[in-house]
A and B are shown apart, each in its own frame.
Chain A
Amino acid sequence: EVQLVESGGGLVKPGGSLRLSCAASGFTFSYAWMNWVRQAPGKGLEWVGRVKSRIDGEPTDYAAPVKGRFTISRDASKNVLYLQMNSLKTEDTGVYFCTTGFNPLGAWGQGTLVTVSS
């Protein structure tokens, strides 16, 4: 069974940093394109960024609001996806989900809440 479990969320002050983790199981992690998606309280879904597979060379892409502040990486030996978030802003507050997207199809974690507030 494909499973994704996020952790690492919490309360952080503006300008601070936080690293989220996503533990993956049930599929060949190094072959999957992995994404982070976030959802501000009461709002819609916003794509944060992705890392492509090892075969593709693991390039990363980011949405404009987080480019230069967030970094996505993966540790294939541990089957863990990371989201390093620096220079956090209040508008980064929300639930952060990791997801495979479409290969495997439709796997999402339960999300981890990040609150940026003074």
Chain B
Amino acid sequence: DIQMTQSPSTLSASVGDRVTITCRASQSVNYWLAWYQQKPGNAPKLLIYKASSLHSGVPSRFSGSGSGTEFTLTISSLQPDDFATYFCQQYDTSWTFGQGTKVEIK
């Protein structure tokens, strides 16, 4: 099974900060990597698919990069609505999610 490891697990940041979250796969997933945002009590929301494609309606401050085994999600200027938990997901072989990164207010 492919394992996904996110870092950090928790991130404290302020509005306006540039934020980067990393996701590593235990083997290559090519570019079959997605990022989700989840808030308490809600379903995950797709932000990025195919490593760097922005899902419709997602603000352009979100971007994704990487291929193979190493990927990043960047929020260029953190907004109040962005405080949430973020998950990466590989969909090259079945599906596996990272353990999540909670973005907290500093």
User: Which residues of A sit under 8 angstroms from B1, Cβ to Cβ?
Assistant: 64
Chain B nearest CB, measured from A98 CB (Å): 10
B40 to chain A: closest residue by CB: A42
User: Which residues of B sit under 8 angstroms from A57, Cβ to Cβ?
Assistant: none
Q: Is B49's CB under 8 angstroms from A44's CB?
A: no
Q: Is A61's CB under 8 angstroms from B46's CB?
A: no
Q: Digitize A69-108: 1 where CB-to-B-CB distance is under 8 Å, 0 elsewhere.
A: 0000000000000000000000000000101011001101
Cα–Cα distance between A99 and B49 once the two chains are bound (Å): 15
- Other-chain residue from A35, A44, A97, A110 in contact with B99 (beta carbon distance below 8 A): A44
Chain A nearest CB, measured from B79 CB (Å): 20
The A interface, classified by DSSP as helix, strand, loop or mixed, is strand
Chain A nearest CB, measured from B8 CB (Å): 14
- Other-chain residue from B43, B49, B55, B94 in contact with A97 (beta carbon distance below 8 A): B43
Q: Digitize A20-53: 1 where CB-to-B-CB distance is under 8 Å, 0 elsewhere.
A: 0000000000000001010000001111001000
Q: Is A106's CB under 8 angstroms from B55's CB?
A: yes
- Other-chain residue from B42, B56, B91, B99 in contact with A101 (beta carbon distance below 8 A): B91
Total of A-B residue pairs, C-beta within 8 Å: 48
A35 to chain B: closest residue by CB: B95
Q: Is B97 an interface residue (CB 8 A)?
A: yes
| Chain B 30-46 residues near chain A, CB threshold 8 A | 34, 36, 38, 42-46
Other A-B pairs, 18, CB within 8 Å; known A35-B95, A64-B1, A99-B43:
A37-B97, A44-B87, A44-B100, A45-B38, A45-B87, A45-B100, A46-B97, A47-B95, A47-B96, A50-B94, A50-B95, A61-B94, A97-B44, A102-B49, A105-B46, A105-B49, A108-B44, A109-B43
Query: Which A residues contact B (CB, under 8 angstroms)?
Result: 35, 37, 44-47, 50, 61, 63-64, 97, 99, 101-102, 105-106, 108-111
9 contacts between A and B (CB under 8 A): A44-B98, A45-B89, A47-B96, A97-B44, A101-B91, A102-B34, A102-B91, A105-B46, A106-B55
